[in-house]
């Protein structure tokens, strides 16, 4: 497939690794870590510096709000002028904001100044995951032989999800290690250094020159009212519950550990949940097909609820760590299942919109729960706040029950998208499942950062 901006097709590569270059993958992987460290790092820092779990939770919420509001604008700018200048500018602003937070939190400036810096941190956070997907999809559809594209797309999307999940898991662990061995400000300084080095390297990598080809044909979309169907909204409700769960768990855990004299280890204990989450998320492809998505959601969300009941009953560090380990086994498959259902139920031409709805619901839930749980812990007590995650997990279970009543989603056979050009012509004889992957990839290629 050739691009109108680049009439001469690039030479084909036999593998994606050759097309992107071997150095691309470690750079893009490490560049994800600063964002994974931001929420936990700012929470740990503010609680340590200001002695207020309520302010720490509110600041974490503001960081998430800044990312949710400005992230799509950064994506739109990357579409218009290219990834490189947008990522470079965002990385510079973000690293300066992280350093500013390390200074402002311990200064005599009023609390609104801390919140303002937190908003800038979230707003300037480079969207490495979505932009990396955009680059790799473009390379697959323009540089790889047609017979390899569907398989490579499946493998690449799996890798990208695993990379995001691994960064999410070990980001808090890095925060905990730096905070406990050095100082509460160390995670912010470390994140700033990682941003300057690896986000800059990601921006300057040759793959940043990859641009989505223009297309003069309109994309066929289902009516917007289909986004309000019960089968879509119930999945969004599940994502909202997951966001509430993340925010309530992190904030209540931090409050509890701070109360018991282990506040700087919040990232380490929280990371215990992420280990099981990553392992189960990567292993979900091994589940038998008869273990249907609706039952996976119900089973693993029930396990989340059971773990949070144990979390509320835990009176010490060992019990809390055990509850986190069990919760990880539940949350990983639940999140993967939610996104699988979202992909299956997305109306024609609106998969990016549905994915954005899930992402926004998760961010809103996490931000709101962080602020609410922080205030609750400060006014009522950390032990009482440890029951709030059970309420969030209960919402996920309730949504799973409604989803089970609605029945399993049935994917529709994909039809050819207009304007897909050579890719459709070369792959029209593929099985429906692989053709659907290519159709979705073509849509992402046309609007690469709409899913931010």
Tell me: do 318 and 260 sit in the same domain: yes
pLDDT for 343 equals 66
| Of 389, 283, 387, 384, residue with least CA distance to 336 | 283
CA atoms within 13 A on the CB side of 71: 24
pLDDT-based confidence at 63, cuts 50/70/90? confident
Residue 252: give its domain's CATH number: 1.20.1250.20
Cα–Cα distance for residue pair 397/4, rounded to 1 Å = 49
Query: Is the pLDDT at 23 greater than 80, yes or no?
Result: yes
Higher pLDDT pick, 167 / 95: 95
277 in the same domain as 201: no
Instruction: Note whether 195 and 253 are same-domain residues.
Output: no
What is the C-alpha to C-alpha distance for residues 315 and 260, in angstroms, rounded to an integer? 10
Does residue 262 lie within any of the structural domains?
A: yes
Does residue 204 sit in the same domain as residue 286? no
| Predicted local distance difference test score (pLDDT) of residue 205 | 86
Spatial distance between the Cα atoms of 53 and 375, rounded to a whole number of angstroms: 7
The verdict on residue 203 lying in a domain is yes
If asked whether residues 122 and 243 sit together in one domain, one would say no
Asked if residue 314 belongs to a domain, the reply is yes
Query: How many residues in total does the chain contain?
Result: 452
* Residues 78, 279: Cα–Cα separation, whole Å: 33
Q: How confident is the model at residue 76 (pLDDT cuts 50, 70, 90)?
A: low
Q: How far apart are CA 441 and CA 148, in angstroms?
A: 14
CB atoms within 10 A of CB 167: 23
The domain that contains 113 carries what CATH number? 1.20.1250
Domain assignment of residue 20, yes or no: no
Q: Are residues 257 and 315 in the same domain?
A: yes
pLDDT at 65 over 60: yes
Q: Which of 69-73, 270-274, 283-287 has the lowest mean pLDDT?
A: 283-287
446 belongs to a structural domain: no
Query: In the structure, what pLDDT confidence band is assigned to residue 238 with cuts at 50, 70 and 90?
Result: very high
> How many CB atoms within 10 Å of residue 428?
9
Q: How far apart, in whole angstroms, are the C-alpha atoms of residue 256 and residue 253?
A: 5
Higher-pLDDT residue of 7, 36: 36
Helix, strand, or coil (residue 3):
strand
Other CB atoms within 10 A of residue 60 CB: 32
Give the per-residue pLDDT at 153.
65
pLDDT digits (tens, 9 = 90+) for 137-183: 777 777 777 767 766 766 666 577 667 767 766 777 788 788 878 88
Last residue of a domain, which of 211, 232, 258?
Answer: 211
In this prediction, residue 245 carries a pLDDT of: 92
For residue 425, pLDDT beyond 50: no
pTM here is 0.67
pLDDT of residue 410: 43
User: Given this model, what pLDDT does residue 113 score?
Assistant: 92
What rounded mean pLDDT belongs to the chain? Answer: 76
Give 382-418 pLDDT, tens digit per residue. 888 889 999 999 999 999 999 888 875 444 333 333 3
Q: Which residue has the higher pLDDT, 320 or 134?
A: 320
> Taking Cα atoms as reference points, which of 132, 72, 61, 122 lies closest to residue 97?
122
The average pLDDT across 70-88 equals 78
The answer on 332 and 376 residing in a single domain is yes
My answer on whether 82 and 191 are in the same domain is yes
Same domain, 193 and 258: no
Per-residue model confidence (pLDDT) at position 306: 94
Q: Which of 9-18, 308-317, 434-443 has the highest mean pLDDT?
A: 308-317
Residues 197 and 284 in one domain: no
Q: How confident is the model at residue 43 (pLDDT cuts 50, 70, 90)?
A: confident
Q: Once rounded to an integer, what is the mean pLDDT over residues 71-80?
A: 72
Residue range 116-139: mean pLDDT, rounded: 81
One domain for residues 202 and 232: no
Q: Provide the domain limits for residue 360.
A: 222-415
The single residue listed with the structure tokens 């010490």 is 316
Decide if pLDDT at 50 tops 90.
Answer: no
158 falls within a domain: no
- Residue 393, domain member (yes or no): yes
What is the domain count for the chain?
2
Tell which residue, 58, 17, 102, has the closest CA to residue 247. 58
| Among 77-86, 172-181, 236-245, 248-257, the range of highest mean pLDDT | 236-245
Whether the Cβ atoms of residue 121 and residue 103 lie closer than 8 Å to each other? no
Residue 121 lies in a domain: yes
Q: To which residue do tokens 């995670």 refer?
A: 187
Contact predicate 86/77, CB 8 Å: yes
Do 364 and 331 reside in the same domain of the chain?
yes
């Amino acid at each position: 497939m050739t691009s109108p901006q680049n009439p001469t097709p690039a030479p084909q590569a036999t593998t994606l690794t050759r097309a992107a270059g071997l150095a691309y993958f470690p750079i893009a992987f490490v560049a994800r870590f600063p964002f994974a460290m931001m929420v936990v790092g700012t929470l740990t820092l503010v609680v340590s510096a200001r002695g207020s779990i309520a302010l720490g939770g509110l600041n974490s919420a503001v960081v998430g709000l800044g990312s949710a509001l400005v992230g799509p604008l950064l994506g739109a700018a990357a579409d218009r002028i290219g990834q490189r200048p947008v990522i470079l500018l965002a990385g510079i602003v973000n690293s300066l904001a992280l350093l500013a937070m390390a200074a402002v939190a311990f200064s005599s400036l009023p609390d609104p100044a801390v919140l303002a810096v937190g908003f800038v941190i979230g707003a300037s956070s480079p969207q490495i995951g979505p932009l990396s997907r955009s680059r790799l999809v473009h390379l697959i559809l323009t540089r790889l032989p047609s017979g390899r594209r569907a398989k490579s797309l499946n493998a690449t999307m799996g890798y990208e999800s695993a990379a995001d999940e691994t960064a999410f898991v070990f980001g808090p662990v890095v925060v905990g290690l730096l905070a406990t061995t050095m100082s509460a400000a160390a995670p912010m300084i470390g994140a700033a250094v990682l941003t300057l080095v690896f986000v800059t390297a990601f921006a300057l990598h040759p793959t940043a020159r990859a641009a989505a080809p223009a297309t003069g044909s309109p994309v066929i979309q289902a009516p917007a009212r289909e986004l309000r169907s019960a089968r879509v909204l119930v999945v969004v409700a599940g994502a909202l519950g997951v966001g509430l769960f993340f925010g309530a768990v992190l904030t209540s855990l931090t409050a509890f550990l701070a109360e018991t004299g282990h506040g700087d280890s919040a990232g380490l204990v929280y990371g215990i949940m992420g280990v099981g989450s990553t392992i189960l998320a990567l292993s979900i492809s091994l589940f038998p097909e008869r273990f249907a998505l609706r039952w996976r959601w119900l089973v693993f969300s029930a396990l989340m609820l059971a773990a949070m009941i144990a979390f509320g009953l835990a009176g010490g560090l060992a019990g809390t760590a055990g509850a986190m380990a069990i919760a990880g086994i539940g949350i990983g498959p639940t999140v993967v299942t939610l996104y699988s259902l979202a992909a299956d139920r997305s109306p024609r031409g609106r998969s990016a919109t549905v994915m954005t709805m899930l992402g926004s619901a998760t961010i809103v839930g996490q931000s709101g729960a962080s602020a609410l749980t922080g205030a609750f812990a400060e006014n009522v007590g950390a032990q009482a706040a440890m029951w709030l995650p059970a309420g969030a997990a209960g919402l996920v279970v309730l949504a799973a029950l409604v989803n089970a009543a609605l029945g399993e989603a049935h994917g529709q056979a994909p039809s050819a998208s207009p304007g897909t050009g050579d890719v459709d012509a070369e792959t029209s004889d593929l099985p429906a499942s692989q053709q659907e992957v290519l159709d979705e990839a073509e849509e992402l290629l046309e609007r690469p950062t709409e899913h931010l």
